[in-house]
Amino acid sequence: EVQLVESGGGLVQPGGSLRLSCAASGFTFSSYEMNWVRQAPGKGLEWVSYISSSGSTIYYADSVKGRFTISRDNAKNSLYLQMNSLRAEDTAVYYCARMVYSKSGKTNYYYMDVWGKGTTVTVSS
């Protein structure tokens, strides 16, 4: 069964750090691009970060750039999100999501087809 399981969430004080993990199983993790997406309480979905299958290409949302670092260990089938200088507005459920694409002619259409159940991060004093 294809599965993503997040862990590492918790309560942290403003300015603190936290490292989230996402364990992948049931597919060849090293072949897939991955994302972190978050959802603040009662709010919509917000993309956080992207990493290519090899880890050579990385993108961040402006809201986390310079504070968060995405990484992966393909040997351990794991995705990570190092979160530093945390703020109250980072409080959210954090999901990892697999990204795949469908090819039509010369165009690749990307979408997130597998999601974990999420891990909750609360930033509060």
Q: Does 44 bind another protein (CB under 8 A)?
A: yes
| Both structure tokens of 96 | 């990892």
Q: Which stretch binds another protein (CB under 8 A): 10-18, 68-76, 83-91, 104-112?
A: 104-112
Give 99-113 as a 3 state SS string.
Answer: EEEEEECCEEEEEEE
Q: Does 119 bind another protein (CB under 8 A)?
A: no
Q: Which stretch binds another protein (CB under 8 A): 9-17, 38-46, 70-78, 82-90?
A: 38-46
* Contact track, another protein, 46-85, x by CB under 8 A: xx--x--------x-xx-----------------------
CA–CA separation, 125 and 121 (whole Å): 13
CA–CA separation, 90 and 26 (whole Å): 30
Pick between residue 17 and residue 101 the one whose CB is nearest to another protein: 101
| Both structure tokens of 64 | 């986390």
